[in-house]
C-alpha cells in the first residue's frame, strides 16, 4: 500500500514564525501536491511538483514556498506565518498525472 506521511498532525505557531511542513511518500511517485482545506472551500492547490527540483504554482501560492530535493520528500514552507494561514494542510502523491492521488493524514496548523 502507498503510504504518505506528514510530519505533524497538529501544529501551533505564532505569527511571523517560519513553518516547515514535511511530506514523505514511499511509492516512488514522481508527482506530489500540497493543498489547503478550509470549511466550505474544499481543497485548494498550493504547489505541485512533477519531478525532483521541479515546482509549479497552484491556485493559491502566495505566502508559501516549497522544496523538493529528493523524490520522496516534498516540503511546504510558510516564510512568515500569518493568522489567515490557519488551516488543514494535505499532502498527496500520484503515479500518473491527472489520476488517483494518495493523501497523507493532514496537518492542522493554527497560527496565533
Partner 1 sequence: SQQGEEDPQALSIQEGENATMNCSYKTSINNLQWYRQNSGRGLVHLILIRSNEREKHSGRLRVTLDTSKKSSSLLITASRAADTASYFCATDSGSARQLTFGSGTQLTVLP
> What are the residues binding partner 1 (CB under 8 A)?
4, 33, 35, 40-45, 48, 56, 58-59, 88, 90, 92, 97-106, 108
Nearer to partner 1, 33 or 85 (CB): 33
Round the CA-based radius of gyration of the chain to a whole number and report it.
Answer: 13
At its nearest, how many Å lie between partner 1 and the CB of residue 83?
21
Cα distance between residue 102 and residue 112, in whole Å = 30
Distance, first Cα to last Cα, the chain: 37
SS3 85: helix
Nearer to partner 1, 59 or 79 (CB): 59
Give buried/exposed letters for 22-59 (b at 16+ CB in 10 A, else e): bbbbeeebebbbbbbeeeeeebebbbbbeeeeebeebe
Nearer to partner 1, 17 or 100 (CB): 100
At its nearest, how many Å lie between partner 1 and the CB of residue 32?
12
Nearer to partner 1, 24 or 92 (CB): 92
At its nearest, how many Å lie between partner 1 and the CB of residue 14?
23
Amino acid at each position: 500500500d502507498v503510504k504518505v506521511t506528514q510530519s505533524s498532525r497538529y501544529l501551533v505557531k505564532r505569527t511571523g514564525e517560519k513553518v516547515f511542513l514535511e511530506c514523505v511518500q514511499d511509492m516512488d511517485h514522481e508527482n506530489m501536491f500540497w493543498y489547503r482545506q478550509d470549511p466550505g472551500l474544499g481543497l485548494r492547490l498550493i504547489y505541485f511538483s512533477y519531478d525532483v527540483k521541479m515546482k509549479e504554482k497552484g491556485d493559491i501560492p502566495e505566502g508559501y514556498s516549497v522544496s523538493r530535493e529528493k523524490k520522496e520528500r516534498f516540503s511546504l514552507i510558510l516564510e512568515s506565518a500569518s493568522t489567515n494561514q490557519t488551516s488543514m494542510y494535505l499532502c498527496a502523491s500520484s503515479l500518473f498525472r491527472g489520476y488517483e492521488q494518495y493523501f497523507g493524514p493532514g496537518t492542522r496548523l493554527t497560527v496565533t
